[in-house]
């Protein structure tokens, strides 16, 4: 089946480039260039961005989990506003949707409006996660992909695929070219959180995981040049 409607998940760390924190404009512009080419080829693209380049409050023992997660939720909004603005600067129409009111900075999410925008060639950013603590942007990614009836999730990370162990610690770590979403659950591989993996599996939402910083990585993930890990649901 041709993958026309795509939910692109970008990790905040990957967007930060080698700086590992904040924004790396060159990296975002590379993403924008690839997205523009994909739109010209008839793809419909929605985007979810993580907040790890600004906040990982779950590692703190000195803050309530709910408040920490709320800060992370706002970090994803900042990331989407920044990225959407750079996209607009190169001629890509964008809209940012959130699951909660956010003044005049975003629009409140409605499935019908999101799908209409996608069909019109507008890139739709889903910011703010699910709007609730205890749910990761992995969950927001799968949930939004299911709601807009995406054909596949493309997940661009700082790592180029799924491994059987941490390749930073184990030079002999094996990279998987293909696996089942059930494997993520059974082996607790940590690629996405378990609740998100189960939701994807129940709704037959497959995922391609790849290294964002590779040359033309997003375009390659849409073609036969894909070299990451295909996770079949």
CA distance 108 to 104: 10
Tell me: pLDDT of 59 over 80. Answer: no
Q: What is the largest CA-CA distance in the chain?
A: 50
Averaged pLDDT, 126-139: 95
Show the CA angle centred on residue 149, arms to residues 148 and 154, nearest 5°: 90
pLDDT number for residue 1: 63
Averaged pLDDT, 29-51: 96
Q: Which of 128, 166, 126, 123 is nearest to 5 (CA)?
A: 123
Confidence label for 214 from pLDDT (cuts 50, 70 and 90) = confident
Tell me: pLDDT of 15 over 90. Answer: no
Averaged pLDDT, 61-81: 92
- Helix, strand, or coil (residue 231): strand
pLDDT number for residue 60: 66
Kindly report the pTM of this predicted structure. Answer: 0.94
Tell me: pLDDT of 64 over 70. Answer: yes
Averaged pLDDT, 201-223: 93
Q: Which of 78, 71, 45 is nearest to 57 (CA)?
A: 71
Instruction: Write the DSSP string, 140-181.
Output: HHHHHHHHTT-SEEEEEESSSSEESS-TTT-TTPPEESEEEH
Lowest-pLDDT range of 32-46, 111-125, 162-176: 162-176
CA distance 55 to 74: 9
Tell me: pLDDT of 164 over 90. Answer: no
- Helix, strand, or coil (residue 108): strand
DSSP letter for 130, please: T
């Amino acid at each position: 089946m041709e993958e026309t409607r795509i939910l692109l998940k970008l990790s905040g760390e990957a967007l930060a480039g080698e700086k590992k924190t904040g924004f790396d404009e060159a990296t975002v512009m590379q993403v924008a260039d690839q997205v523009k080419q994909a739109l010209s080829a008839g793809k419909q693209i929605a985007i979810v961005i993580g907040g790890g380049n600004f906040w990982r409050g779950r590692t703190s023992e000195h803050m309530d989990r709910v408040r920490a997660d709320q800060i992370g939720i706002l970090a994803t909004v900042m990331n989407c506003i920044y990225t959407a603005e750079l996209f607009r600067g190169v001629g890509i129409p964008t809209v940012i949707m959130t699951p909660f009111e956010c003044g005049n900075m975003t629009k409140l999410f409605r499935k019908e409006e999101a799908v209409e925008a996608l069909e019109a060639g507008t890139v739709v950013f889903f910011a703010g996660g699910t709007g609730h603590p205890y749910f990761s942007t992995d969950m927001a990614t799968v949930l939004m992909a299911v709601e807009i009836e995406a054909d596949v999730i493309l997940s661009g990370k700082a790592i180029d695929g799924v491994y059987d162990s941490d390749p930073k610690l184990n030079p002999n770590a094996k990279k998987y070219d293909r696996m089942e979403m059930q494997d993520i659950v059974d082996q607790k591989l940590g690629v996405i959180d378990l609740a998100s993996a189960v939701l994807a599996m129940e709704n037959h939402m497959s995922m391609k995981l790849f290294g964002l910083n590779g040359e033309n990585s997003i375009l390659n993930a849409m073609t036969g040049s894909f070299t990451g890990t295909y996770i079949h649901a």
